[in-house]
């Protein structure tokens, strides 16, 4: 079989926060019938037959929007979505006892309010102490038979950055996992963030459209590509909530979910997130040169020693009831304190100017 007989695109979890959207494959004309387990094993690098069959049996492989079994034979024009990781190097999740801020839980889903500074899942350099380690412990305490074979990656279907706080949804059943993963893939999840950004934004609301992808020189960073020459389509809607002169509090609604999307998009329009050390927000971007102002900003950096970004609201169709549900959280203490300080500072400066 030649490479010209199919189109394949690998979607790394590092470039899309929909953790299980790993591969998207469209079969071209000329493809002869072939069992899908054999096809995926031969075409996905590092994939093993066992991994592929586990993914198929768990319903993590969709063909034309429907689950298929390992003996399904692919045909021209089939659209295949693989949600599960096929890599044999995938890090095992070791259960660890820890305190989880569970905002909501039922038989199908669990909502967790993640604190800043916590990595979501194990990976290179972070094998313990992650949110998923704690979830694994919690799930197994409630049901000793619960394993990654029961629900892959203990139900994780998306993630947020280590230093971003806020809501995550996890699935507790295969059905819920497939249902939620598809909503993330279709971009029908309602995700609202609150961010504190540098500068006085010109418009009260707007939409940022620019592909987001790896920085061409630094693998740790992402970049906005407005002409779409690199990366993947990314769309962020924003609305100003409050103005503080040198800073603006904004609501960001994600239409897509790319890694660092809000951080990259805000930098792209000239408003990096407050204290974002990756994208230039950890220095004075706007304001005066006076020593008192510099000290004020440094005090705020100390209160909120991370990018001022919080995943505040998450809405989706519930996998069991079929009804739309919304979950909301209060701003964490560090961001709330900084907002209060800037609110008072802007009022004082405004009074001095008048």
Q: Tell me the pLDDT tens digit for each residue of 143-167.
A: 888 887 778 788 888 889 999 999 9
Q: Residues 37, 78, 85, 161: which is the catalytic one?
A: 161
Same domain as 205, residue 326: yes
Q: Which pLDDT score, from 0 to 100, does residue 7 have?
A: 33
The CATH number linked to 207 is 3.30.2350.10
- 97: in domain: no
> Is residue 267 over pLDDT 80?
yes
Task: Show the domain range for 315.
Answer: 190-353
- Looking at 134, 157, 185, the residue that finishes a domain is 185
Q: How far is CA 123 from CA 14, 19, 24, 115, in A?
A: 11, 13, 23, 18
To the nearest whole number, what is the mean pLDDT of the chain? Answer: 87
Q: List b or e across 2-24, with b for residues whose CB sees 16 or more CB atoms inside 10 angstroms.
A: eeeebeeeebebebbbbbbbbbe
Same domain as 304, residue 215: yes
Of all residues in the chain, what percent carry a pLDDT higher than 90?
Answer: 58
pLDDT band at 339; cut points 50, 70, 90: very high
Q: Which pLDDT score, from 0 to 100, does residue 91 have?
A: 65
Catalytic (active site) residue 145: no
- Looking at 35, 54, 82, the residue that finishes a domain is 82
Phi and psi at residue 126, in whole multiples of 5°?
Answer: -135, 80
- Looking at 132, 152, 185, the residue that finishes a domain is 185
Q: Tell me the pLDDT tens digit for each residue of 66-123.
A: 888 899 999 999 999 887 666 555 567 889 999 999 999 999 999 999 999 999 988 7
CA nearest neighbour of 256 among 305, 187, 193, 317: 187
- Taking the whole predicted model, whether its pTM rises above 0.85 is answered as no
């Amino acid at each position: 079989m030649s490479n010209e007989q199919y189109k394949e695109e690998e979607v790394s979890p590092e470039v899309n926060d929909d953790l299980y959207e790993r591969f998207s494959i469209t079969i071209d004309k000329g493809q002869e019938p072939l069992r899908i387990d054999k096809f995926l094993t031969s075409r996905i690098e590092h994939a093993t037959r066992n991994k592929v069959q586990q993914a198929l049996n768990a319903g993590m492989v969709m063909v034309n929007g429907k689950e298929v079994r390992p003996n399904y034979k692919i045909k021209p024009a089939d659209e295949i979505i693989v949600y599960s990781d096929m890599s044999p190097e995938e890090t095992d999740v070791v259960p660890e006892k820890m305190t989880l801020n569970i905002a909501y839980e039922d038989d199908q889903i669990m909502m967790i309010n993640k604190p800043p500074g916590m990595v979501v899942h194990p990976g290179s350099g972070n094998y313990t102490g992650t949110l998923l380690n704690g979830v694994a412990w919690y799930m197994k305490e409630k049901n000793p038979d619960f394993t990654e074979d029961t629900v892959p990656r203990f139900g994780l279907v998306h993630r947020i950055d280590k230093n971003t706080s806020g809501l995550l949804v996890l699935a507790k059943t295969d059905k819920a996992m497939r249902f939620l993963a598809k909503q993330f893939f279709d971009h029908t999840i309602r995700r609202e963030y609150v961010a504190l950004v540098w500068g006085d934004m010109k418009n009260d609301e707007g939409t940022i459209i620019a592909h987001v992808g790896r920085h061409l020189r630094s693998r740790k960073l992402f970049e906005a590509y407005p002409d779409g020459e690199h990366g993947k389509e990314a769309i962020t809607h924003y609305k100003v909530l409050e103005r503080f002169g040198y800073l603006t509090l904004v609501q960001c609604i994600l239409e897509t979910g790319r890694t660092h999307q809000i951080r990259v998009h805000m930098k792209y329009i000239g408003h990096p997130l407050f204290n974002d050390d990756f994208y230039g927000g950890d220095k004075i971007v706007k304001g005066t040169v006076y020593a008192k102002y510099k000290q004020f900003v440094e005090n705020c950096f100390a209160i909120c020693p991370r990018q001022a970004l919080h995943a505040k609201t998450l809405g989706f169709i519930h996998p069991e009831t079929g009804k739309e549900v919304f979950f909301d959280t209060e701003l964490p203490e560090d961001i709330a304190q900084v907002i209060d300080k800037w609110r008072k500072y802007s009022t004082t400066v405004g009074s001095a100017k008048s």
